[in-house]
Structure 1
Amino acid sequence: MTPNRTAFVFGDRTLTYADIHERTTRLASRLRDAGVRDGDRVAYLGPNHAAFAETMFATHLLGGIFVPLNFRLAAPEIAYMLEQSGATVLIYGPQCAETVRALPDPSVPLTIVALTSPAAGERAYETWLSQGDPAPIDVPVALDDVALILYTSGTTGRPKGATLTHGNLIWNTFNVIIGVDVASDEVTLISAPLFHVAALDQTLLPTFIKGGRSVIMPSWNVDECYDLIDKHRITWMFGVATMFAALARSPRWAAADLSSLRHLMSGGAAVPASLIRTYQDRGLVFCQGYGLTETAPGATFLEASESTRKVGSAGVPVFFASVRVVRHDLTDVAVGEPGEVLIKGPNVTPGYWRNPEATAAAFSEGGWFHSGDVATLDEEGHLYIVDRVKDMYISGGENVYPAEVEKVMSEHPAVAEVAVIGVPDAKWGEVGRAFVVRRPGADVTGDELRDFLLGRLARYKIPRYVDVVDDLPRTGSGKLRKPELRNRV
């Protein structure tokens, strides 16, 4: 439809839709020469790059399955994912050369392609691609065919490979376009890692299908983000709460021209209401959504028209999905009562790659997917995420949801970030321990924070211990790694 419109901007390079068509067709022919056929897996390892999207599209042209890998992982973790997925091709960025060199010999022959500086036995990406055949490729692909294998964060045990079908991606894209009013003149900043489902499925793919422009950041950097917003007149961006908090803490915040931004969207973890209001005070539309890798990822979304009235809510179910909040016996909760979130719809994964046990455990009768997240519903059906089921702890017989405590603690002006876990206690069974990162130039003690919580939270919810730390451990997708915090205790 619009071959000469810009599809991707990466550094100083601009690629049109016609460029992407030709390049992905050439790359697909080279993958076919390497033996990739319908259902075969092609992996990508590296920071955000236009080659990420090219590799994904080329794999799909052949009916193959794309496997994006977290470039922050160590060689043994990457080796497990390559082995478990059965990938036959690995394309990687120069930042991951040391990791690739450390990989053990795979049980399945692996064609390795380097974006730059290939080692002996490897291919050079640009040379390899340019020599491909530009003739159209026509491999039938069905909606139920697997498009992606996305490995979960793996904060406990081995990560699982969540499969997403082409239908999952399409229905999620429809949901985004309905909820966000994505326009054909969209200029979207891809600032979160593309191996994470939100950056890929919530921003890049919806922008691409509308003929918009995606400006790809190799990695997150606050100053570069400000520069790109100004240079390209960015209209839409997604980020996790920590990214938006960092932007608001920057010395450039007060004077920056952010007038081009039409939508700011966040997910991955609950966003403090105080942070949302910081953006709203600048006249910016800040919307939350809720979802998981397994739901492609959108399950609920708060539309712009509700972003002020329902601050802190993750919204209502996306148009093409159903969401319930249930008790342990799978009956629906009352208004305000915490329960587990269940999701059903054409955006929901069919299961985990080569893991029937995990797949069976994730679904209940009727095809409802168990999120493992705790939420409440208000009288209008808006969802409020409370916490992960596994993060809840019991103090003196009372359930404590750390996310609730974190939300209130984050309202203190000296607190930049906070994470709360349950730790053993001889008297109460468990009590809270908070890890607090202070705002630059701010000072606060544990006693001051506990006093701040008095009257705002029940006494049993107030953390017994408060540790002031420089930073919090996070996964590649920006989520807190609470098991690491427990190891510090």
Structure 2
Amino acid sequence: MPASALPNQRPVDLGPLDIALTPGGDGVLYARSPIELGSYEDRVTLWLDRWAALRPDQIFLAEREASGVWARITYAQARAKARRLASALLARGLSAEWPLVILSGNSIAHALLGLAALYAGIPYAPISPAYALAAPDFTRLKSIFGLLTPGLVFAEDGAAYAQALAVAPETATRLVASAPPLGAELLSDLLATPETAALDRIESDVGPRTIAKFMFTSGSTAAPKAVITTQRMLCANQAMIARALRFLASEPPVLLDWLPWSHSFGGNQNFNLVLAHGGTLYIDAGRPTPDGIAATLANLREISPTLHFNVPAGIEMLLPHLAREKKLATNFFRHLRLTFFAGAPIGRATYETWNEAAAAACGETILAMSGYGATESGPATTFWTPAIRAEGGVGLPLPGAELKLTPRGEKLEVRVKGPNVTPGYWRDPDATQQAFDDEGFFRLGDALRLADAAQPRQGFCFDGRVGEDFKLATGTWVSTGPLREACRAALAPFAQDVVLTGAGQPFAGAFVFPNFAACKSLGLDPAATPVEIVAHPKVRAKFQALLDTFASATGGSSRRIARLILLSEPASAAAGELTDKQALNAEAVLTNRADLLPGLFSATPPAQVIIAAATPAEHRQDFVIAK
């Protein structure tokens, strides 16, 4: 059905989504799609085989070289190289007990090694570059190496990853593509390996239950867990997505994508979506950060994607450039069928600005949609469609997924079952046992709620992380998910993100990461530093006014922010405050900046605390700066 949720929306062929609800005992609610999933492939490499045969000269992957020129590889070339590498991996004795670890970011070499491991039935683990580059003591990386016992560790740039390679186990082979440290093998040597008959024998044994990857959870203060990701999970999840995005069957996707392959959104959903449908993936070295956005903009001036995947912060960072630069906007929207965001809800103002930018550039609005999932579910579990009107909704179950919503306090904890769900955590039987309930549903740790119980086809809304909710001193529970998004919306566009706190306190408070670019638009010097920005009287006045309005418009203590602190120091990936997809890790932020908490809740707060006008006058103070 062509979607037309907005006037003059560019048509896109989407499959139907539906929901069947079944009540259980003790308030439990089961939700599934009544639409059958149907058959699907039993191993990922069948996609590469198919397109190498049908479209051998089709560009599969492209990345910019140091010279700025796009290096490209076709489906036929990718298959031939991946199979030679697979033979080389088998010759080195790799297995589930001695897997491949990839330290590098997204690249053609990374993709070829991953595909080689899939051909050979050898699990591989793409590791966040933050663990191997930004971490000062490699604590998490050492923990990962200890858990996996890798047989081979690959780092594309041997010089950049030299210290990380040095902490790899002595039993692991070091492999690099360039600048090899002493004793490391070169990727070019492995690529020279001839394809062997042993590969055909091994490949015939690779099936749906074969481990494809170990995907690591982000890990805040605890060590990351290795999510067992099977061939069935990846193949089933693409079949589920294809039922919703029906146009992919006739329109091979073109992506320019930065989302990291060490995360399920980029590495499982997006990479495999391109591979499954014979599309082209341009690897974007940019990031939605003040320093990284320039590379993305340069790429978008050349590449016209048909799909755009991003996090809300990335979309928000693109929008001012699309408004200012007509040629950029025209090229970006020229062939775009839809944008898909995940990781957080998108604000109403951002959604409206997105539509305005699209209409100005191409005369049509472009569908923006979202969904819900997790590393342990492949990731996609629900999709939002234009028929769903609920703001902040995450949609309806995809075909093949079954949800179980279990009362936990005032919330419904979501659990999931389906062919896209992990069998557990590698070498961690206790965590695996705790993750599943007695009916075999995986506990995701999140809460969902029906947007409208009387109209279940309006789907679900995200209701926060169950473990992040806290109780005030009054005994009132604070639902952090909805309150955080309401606070972000109230402070938009001047707040990039917020972290809530207040367990055991009389009110809820927030750490606020300002949007420095938006703050400068208040009349500040374009060269102002973060410290200067949050100290500026105009910025102070703006946040005070926005907080006052938000506090006066909301209800009781569980639905309002009474105090906040502006942070001049951005969230740190090295300190675990940012995940690979640039999402905040609230627990790490609160842990790393715990010295600010006493002042936030003090009876005589320091000047750096902003207090809403609706709170008692004796607690009111002016504010300055927090780092």
For normalisation by structure 2, the TM-score amounts to: 0.72
Aligned residue in 2 for 1:314: 394
The one-letter code matched in structure 1 to 2:75 is Y
Aligned residue in 1 for 2:416: 343
Query: Aligned pair in 2 of structure 1 residues 247, 356: CA closer, same or farther (>3 Å)?
Result: same
Residues of 1 paired with 2:501 and 2:393: CA distance? 25
Contact in 2 for aligned 1:173/1:201 (Cα 8 Å): no
Pairing 1:58-457 to 2, within 5 Å after superposition: 58-73=116-131, 74=135, 75-94=138-157, 96-103=160-167, 106=169, 109-125=171-187, 127-135=188-196, 137-138=199-200, 139=202, 140-181=205-246, 182-183=248-249, 184-220=251-287, 221-250=292-321, 255=326, 256-257=329-330, 258-281=333-356, 282=358, 283-303=365-385, 305-306=386-387, 309-328=389-408, 338-379=411-452, 380-381=455-456, 382-395=459-472, 396-412=474-490, 413-423=492-502, 428=506, 431-438=508-515, 439-440=518-519, 441-442=521-522, 443=539, 444-457=541-554
Residues of 1 paired with 2:178 and 2:350: CA distance? 40
Q: For 1:323, what is the secondary structure of its paired residue? A: strand
Query: Aligned pair in 2 of structure 1 residues 194, 286: CA closer, same or farther (>3 Å)?
Result: same
Contact in 1 for aligned 2:286/2:294 (Cα 8 Å): no
Unaligned runs of 5+ in 2: 1-53, 65-69, 359-364, 523-538, 572-576, 597-627
The one-letter code matched in structure 2 to 1:112 is R
Q: For 1:316, what is the secondary structure of its paired residue? A: strand
Please report how far the alpha carbon of residue 205 of structure 1 lies from its aligned counterpart in structure 2 after TM superposition.
Answer: 0.5
Q: For 1:192, what is the secondary structure of its paired residue? A: coil
Please report how far the alpha carbon of residue 433 of structure 1 lies from its aligned counterpart in structure 2 after TM superposition.
Answer: 2.2
Residues of 2 paired with 1:203 and 1:447: CA distance? 41
| 1:436-478 residue CA offsets vs partner (Å, 9 max, x unmatched) | 4142424355532332213542230322221122433412232
| 1:11-56 residue CA offsets vs partner (Å, 9 max, x unmatched) | 1111000000111011112112222246641110111101121111
Residues of 1 paired with 2:381 and 2:477: CA distance? 26
Aligned residue in 1 for 2:102: 44
Contact in 2 for aligned 1:45/1:96 (Cα 8 Å): no
Query: Aligned pair in 2 of structure 1 residues 89, 141: CA closer, same or farther (>3 Å)?
Result: same
Please report how far the alpha carbon of residue 253 of structure 1 lies from its aligned counterpart in structure 2 after TM superposition.
Answer: 5.3
Contact in 1 for aligned 2:383/2:395 (Cα 8 Å): yes
Q: For 1:246, what is the secondary structure of its paired residue? A: helix
> Which region of structure 1 is more displaced relative to structure 2, 283-292 or 35-44?
35-44
The one-letter code matched in structure 1 to 2:547 is R
Residues of 2 paired with 1:146 and 1:61: CA distance? 11
The one-letter code matched in structure 1 to 2:59 is T
Contact in 2 for aligned 1:446/1:467 (Cα 8 Å): no
Q: Which has the higher helix share?
A: 2
> Which region of structure 1 is more displaced relative to structure 2, 286-295 or 436-445?
436-445
Aligned residue in 2 for 1:334: none
Contact in 1 for aligned 2:390/2:451 (Cα 8 Å): no
| 1:162-187 residue CA offsets vs partner (Å, 9 max, x unmatched) | 11110000111111212223254310
Please report how far the alpha carbon of residue 252 of structure 1 lies from its aligned counterpart in structure 2 after TM superposition.
Answer: 5.4
Contact in 1 for aligned 2:227/2:424 (Cα 8 Å): yes
Q: For 2:346, what is the secondary structure of its paired residue? A: coil
Residues of 2 paired with 1:23 and 1:128: CA distance? 12
Task: Give the length in aligned residue pairs.
Answer: 475
Contact in 1 for aligned 2:488/2:498 (Cα 8 Å): no
Residues of 2 paired with 1:339 and 1:177: CA distance? 28
Q: For 1:10, what is the secondary structure of its paired residue? A: strand
> Which region of structure 1 is more displaced relative to structure 2, 367-376 or 407-416?
407-416
Query: Aligned pair in 2 of structure 1 residues 155, 7: CA closer, same or farther (>3 Å)?
Result: same
Please report how far the alpha carbon of residue 142 of structure 1 lies from its aligned counterpart in structure 2 after TM superposition.
Answer: 1.8
Please report how far the alpha carbon of residue 99 of structure 1 lies from its aligned counterpart in structure 2 after TM superposition.
Answer: 3.3
Residues of 2 paired with 1:424 and 1:211: CA distance? 50
Residues of 2 paired with 1:445 and 1:467: CA distance? 14
Query: Aligned pair in 2 of structure 1 residues 349, 425: CA closer, same or farther (>3 Å)?
Result: closer
Query: Aligned pair in 2 of structure 1 residues 277, 363: CA closer, same or farther (>3 Å)?
Result: farther
Aligned residue in 1 for 2:579: 475
Question: What value does the CA root-mean-square deviation take over the aligned residues?
Answer: 2.2
Q: Which has the higher strand share?
A: 1
The one-letter code matched in structure 2 to 1:214 is L
Residues of 1 paired with 2:95 and 2:560: CA distance? 56
Please report how far the alpha carbon of residue 102 of structure 1 lies from its aligned counterpart in structure 2 after TM superposition.
Answer: 4.2
> Which region of structure 1 is more displaced relative to structure 2, 253-262 or 319-328?
253-262
Residues of 2 paired with 1:133 and 1:222: CA distance? 41
Residues of 2 paired with 1:378 and 1:38: CA distance? 43
For normalisation by structure 1, the TM-score amounts to: 0.91
Query: Aligned pair in 2 of structure 1 residues 344, 101: CA closer, same or farther (>3 Å)?
Result: closer
Residues of 2 paired with 1:456 and 1:259: CA distance? 41
> Which region of structure 1 is more displaced relative to structure 2, 38-47 or 113-122?
38-47
Contact in 2 for aligned 1:271/1:288 (Cα 8 Å): no
The one-letter code matched in structure 2 to 1:420 is V
Which of 61, 76, 100 is equivalent to 1:8?
61
Residues of 1 paired with 2:464 and 2:340: CA distance? 20
Contact in 2 for aligned 1:425/1:431 (Cα 8 Å): no
Residues of 2 paired with 1:390 and 1:145: CA distance? 32
| 1:386-411 residue CA offsets vs partner (Å, 9 max, x unmatched) | 21112111122221122322222233
Residues of 2 paired with 1:234 and 1:135: CA distance? 38
> Which region of structure 1 is more displaced relative to structure 2, 470-479 or 166-175?
470-479
| 1:45-80 residue CA offsets vs partner (Å, 9 max, x unmatched) | 111101121111101111110111011113332122
Query: Aligned pair in 2 of structure 1 residues 320, 229: CA closer, same or farther (>3 Å)?
Result: farther
Which of 529, 535, 560 is equivalent to 1:462?
560
The higher radius of gyration belongs to 2
Query: Aligned pair in 2 of structure 1 residues 217, 33: CA closer, same or farther (>3 Å)?
Result: same
Residues of 2 paired with 1:114 and 1:289: CA distance? 37
Please report how far the alpha carbon of residue 434 of structure 1 lies from its aligned counterpart in structure 2 after TM superposition.
Answer: 3.6
Query: Aligned pair in 2 of structure 1 residues 249, 401: CA closer, same or farther (>3 Å)?
Result: farther
Residues of 1 paired with 2:352 and 2:445: CA distance? 28
**Which fold has the larger relative contact order, with Cα–Cα distance below 8 Å and residues 6 or more apart in sequence?**
2
